[in-house]
Amino acid sequence: MSRVVIIGGGPGGYESALVAAQLGAEVTVVDTDGLGGSAVLTDCVPSKTLIATAELMTEMADAAELGIESRDHQGDPSTTLEVDLATVNARVKRLAADQSADIARRLERDGVQVVRGRGRLDGPGTVAVELADGPSTGSGESGTDTITADAVLLATGAAPRTLPSAVPDGERILTWEQVYDLTEVPTGLIVVGSGVTGAEFASAYLALGIPVTLVSSRDRVLPGEDADAAQVLEDVLTRRGMNVLGQSRMESVTRDGDVVTVRLTDGREVQGSHCVLALGSVPNTSDLGLEEAGVITDDGGFVKVDRVSRTSARGVYAAGDCTGVLMLASVAAMQGRIAMWHFLGDAVAPLDLKQVASNVFTAPEIATVGWSQRAIDAGEIQAETVMLPLKGNPRAKMQGVQDGFVKLFCRPGTGIVVGGVVVGPRASELIHPVSLAVAESITADQLAQAFTVYPSMSGSVAEAARRLHHF
């Protein structure tokens, strides 16, 4: 029986453990912080749970247009809805803990052994574990364990990047992992960083009624996303009252009592009650024994892998954020599964990033799949493009949705759909037909021919596909 040891219990780790167990391997997961990893305990699950509350607030903000009025205790019209952040955050933590417990139960049921502790490579086929608690289960001194394996999967994830000039204090200067300890509503929140994480938190807290300043070092928010989508988002956020500071590079973040000051490199200062730092991530790859085991990392410390998740060391695979390939839970899980399929001799297709659907959970959401507009404009692929605003969609009109669009890209000759972007409420759900089309090389005509419900937002996906029809 093959022995597999997985270091890290996030989606890269636990999903691969399930596959390896299914294929008959003896599997051990070594994890420090709790099953589910950052994805479940501090990143995806908590942020999307917070955003669920923010979504409701966004919908309520437009309630008057749909004929709903709220009244205060005296019966007078009132537009004030207040968020109880302590309750929201308690719910966030409860949900995250429950999800982690679910994963633990699933692994146990599938016969995966879980060891709580910090793992490191002790050569390519051995993992040394500093146990978090309990007696040693194998060879090794008390408090440590040594596990041998035919294959090791590194899935140690990444952690928020901080700077010496902007040190989080866990109270008012916060990483994204620390925001769920807030019990009082910030009176002025500064979010530094306008990538996906910064944009999501800025959008969510704005919807919760908190004055937000977004400090962006680039011309516009979400520099890595579709430019039209980012423009829609920036327009909406600005219209809702966010102070978006473009081309503003943070130099330092300091705190004096209740006041947090963000100093910009051009000398300007922004003040608020709290600051969230969203400065990207650094891989958890130091002190893993990588160099000694022959595992090569890049300049940023990310483990180098090929498309079946092999590292430079024989029998050592890596998956997820520690590889920096594409920092998404779904990609981490797929990289991990691919590693196990490959090692255990099952059918395997190499990772194809052109099929990854992803979403920015702002209001409106931005979902993308396949080739991007940027790649098309740069001539990397030839494609025809159509962009259809959502505001012409009957369902959107009924729901009072004004912002957003559907964009589709297809190959000029064959009409095969190679990518798309959806901006709108629940874009994360609407992207699925486009994602299917990309994965299965479906043509725009085929996509247009499938029935959509009338009235529905997905009608716009079919309509966009119809517009790509050639005689």
Ligand X SMILES: Cc1cc2nc3c(=O)[nH]c(=O)nc-3n(C[C@H](O)[C@H](O)[C@H](O)COP(=O)(O)OP(=O)(O)OC[C@H]3O[C@@H](n4cnc5c(N)ncnc54)[C@H](O)[C@@H]3O)c2cc1C
Q: How far apart are the first and last CA of the chain?
A: 59
Query: Residue 157: which residues within 8 A CB-CB, separation 6 or more?
Result: 8, 10, 12, 37, 38, 39, 283, 284, 320, 321, 322, 332
Residue 330 found at the interface with ligand X (CB under 6 A): yes
Residue 225 found at the interface with ligand X (CB under 6 A): no
Residue 7 found at the interface with ligand X (CB under 6 A): yes
- The stretch near ligand X (CB under 6 A) out of 165-173, 242-250, 314-322, 449-457 is 314-322
Q: How many residues does the chain have?
A: 471
Q: Write a three-state SS string for 1-59.
A: CCEEEEECCCHHHHHHHHHHHHCCCEEEEEECCCCCHHHHHCCHHHHHHHHHHHHHHHH
The 266-305 contact track toward ligand X, x by CB under 6 A, reads ------------------x---x-----------------
Quote the CA–CA distance of 348 and 343 in Å, as a whole number: 10
Out of 17, 39, 153, 208, the only residue in the binding site for ligand X (CB under 6 A) is 39
Nearest to 191 by CA among 85, 277, 280: 277
- The stretch near ligand X (CB under 6 A) out of 149-157, 226-234, 348-356, 364-372 is 149-157
Out of 327, 338, 423, 430, the only residue in the binding site for ligand X (CB under 6 A) is 327
- Nearer to ligand X (CB atom), residue 210 or residue 448: 210
Element at 230 (helix H, strand E):
helix 227-239
Query: Residue 357 CB, nearest distance to ligand X (Å)?
Result: 10
Query: Residue 68: which residues within 8 A CB-CB, separation 6 or more?
Result: none
Residue 125 found at the interface with ligand X (CB under 6 A): no
Out of 6, 10, 96, 448, the only residue in the binding site for ligand X (CB under 6 A) is 10
Query: Residue 69: which residues within 8 A CB-CB, separation 6 or more?
Result: 63, 77
Out of 176, 341, 371, 405, the only residue in the binding site for ligand X (CB under 6 A) is 176
- The stretch near ligand X (CB under 6 A) out of 2-10, 298-306, 374-382, 387-395 is 2-10
Site for ligand X in 12-31 (CB under 6 A): 12-13, 30-31
Nearest to 445 by CA among 423, 415, 412, 424: 415
Residue 156 found at the interface with ligand X (CB under 6 A): yes
Helix axes of 11-22 and 329-343: crossing angle, nearest 10 degrees: 30
Out of 119, 324, 419, 433, the only residue in the binding site for ligand X (CB under 6 A) is 119
Total residues in contact with ligand X, by rule CB under 6 A = 37
Residue 416 per-residue DSSP state: B
Residue 197 found at the interface with ligand X (CB under 6 A): yes
Out of 147, 155, 262, 386, the only residue in the binding site for ligand X (CB under 6 A) is 155
Sites of contact with ligand X (CB under 6 A): 7-13, 30-33, 37-39, 43-44, 47-48, 118-120, 155-158, 176, 197, 284, 288, 320-322, 327-330, 332
